[in-house]
Amino acid sequence: MLGRTLSFYFARHFAKMVMAIFALAFVITAIVTYFEFFNRALKGEVTAGVALAIVAICKVPKLTEDSLPFAVLYGSIAAFIIANRRLEVVVARAAGVSAWQFLLPACVVGILFGTFATTIYNPVATYLLNASDGLWAQVLIHRSKPVENSDNKGPAWLRQAADGTESILGSVQSFDGGLGLLGVTAYVFDQNGKFLERVDAPRAHFQPGAWQIDDATVTAINANPKHVDEYKLSTGLTANEVKQTFLQLDSVSFWSLPQLSAAARRAGLSSARYDLQYNVLLSRPILLLAMVLIAANVSLKFSRSRDLGRVIITGVAVGFMLYVVTSISMDLGSGGVVPPPLAAWLPAIAATLFGITVLLHLEDG
């Protein structure tokens, strides 16, 4: 049995490597994102000081959250390679320690990282992201220029009807839980489908029965565009229905997802995307465990310098393949093709079973 001192040593070594890889990803993301905001500062959209505050304090934690599985994978590979280089694996096996005992501390740390990321890091990151969106809205409060879509996801659109009119409303970014919009465009029609006017504005906010659109430019047929300080766009939608379209799941905390799912079901709306996100976060510890096992498969046999390139290429390939499989599974779940729990848990469980099976074959024949 692996002693307590040796277990803590391996666990500490593994944790340091994972945190180092994650810190590197954090710093690179912060630099790249800051330069994006700095470019906006050069265009006059924001000041450099505000951009730095938005990026460094608010944006980066959420942007780097998805890199955690890769940090665990590559950190684990690095930790196992270093242990091989130091002959720690050889000594441990010579002392009668099996690969399973050697891997146990790393597996425990991987599960702990996943639990921490889901229950603590995710709520903190989403809180900071919401603060960032609110701050960004305040920065743009006096701007009349169109808002650019910084997430490259394309605008979100919804169709609504009320008071004898129909309209199609689009936005490039949302805040305030999906009830506040930035970069707003609306096409207004009468009840017979005849086009009436187009409305463009930097921001809008949902109120019961209507959207309050500020600093709007209204363009009607055979008329010059005119500016209005406040434009009321009637809507028959409820707040829950609006959130279904505009609420960004990245801005919802793990602890808030069950309440949103329950509220959607009570309103007679689909809760699939909330259930999918909740199960994805819930399965994260198992996914990180799978990353540790996969890293062990590709690097524990490493013994020569010329094997380093093979190990790195194999690790990158496996990480990319798992990312593709996870993305496909998420798309199937969000599209309603498969149940959200199955779509969220299947990649993590399949990767874990694959890692265990290969290790059983390599170690126990």
Rounded to whole angstroms, the Cα distance separating 46 from 36 reads 11
Residues ≥6 apart with Cβ < 8 Å to 108:
11
Give which of 254, 253, 270 is closest to 262, Cα–Cα.
270
Angle at 224 between CA 223 and CA 226, to 5 degrees: 115
CB 231 within 8 A of CB 203: no
CA distance 275 to 230: 37
Predicted local confidence at residue 144, as pLDDT: 46
Retrieve residue 344's tokens: 């969220």
- Close Cβ partners of 169 (under 8 Å, ≥ 6 residues apart): 157, 158, 159, 160, 181, 184, 185, 186, 204, 211, 233, 235
**Cβ distance 214 to 204 under 8 Å?**
yes
Confirm if 199 and 184 have CB atoms less than 8 A apart.
yes
pLDDT at 284: 95
Q: Give kind and range of the element (H or E) at residue 184.
A: strand 180-190
- Please report where in the chains the tokens 């954090």 appear, as a residue: 26
Cβ count within 10 A of residue 5? 8
Cα–Cα distances in Å, from 343 out to 216, 276, 286?
42, 7, 14
Nearest-CA neighbor of 183 among 205, 204, 206?
Answer: 204
Asked if residue 89 lies in contact with residue 102, where contact means CB atoms within 8 angstroms, the answer is yes
Count CA within 13 A, CB hemisphere, residue 146: 12
Do 274 and 283 form a contact (C-beta atoms < 8 A)?
no
The phi and psi torsions of 346 (rounded to 5 degrees) equal -60, -50
Q: What is the pLDDT along the chain (365 residues), one digit of tens a residue?
A: 566 777 888 899 999 999 999 999 999 998 888 787 777 666 665 565 666 667 667 889 998 998 999 999 999 988 988 888 887 777 777 777 777 787 888 999 999 999 999 999 999 999 988 888 777 777 665 554 545 555 545 578 889 988 888 999 998 888 888 888 888 999 999 988 899 999 999 889 999 999 999 889 999 988 889 999 999 999 988 888 888 888 888 889 999 999 988 888 887 878 888 999 999 999 999 999 999 998 888 877 655 555 667 777 877 788 888 888 888 998 888 877 889 999 999 999 999 998 888 888 876 65
Q: What is the pLDDT of residue 87?
A: 76
CA angle 14, 127, 116 (to 5 degrees): 25
Whole-model pTM: value is: 0.83
A 10 A CB-CB count for 1 gives 10
| pLDDT given for residue 72 in this prediction | 93
CB atoms within 10 A of CB 130: 20
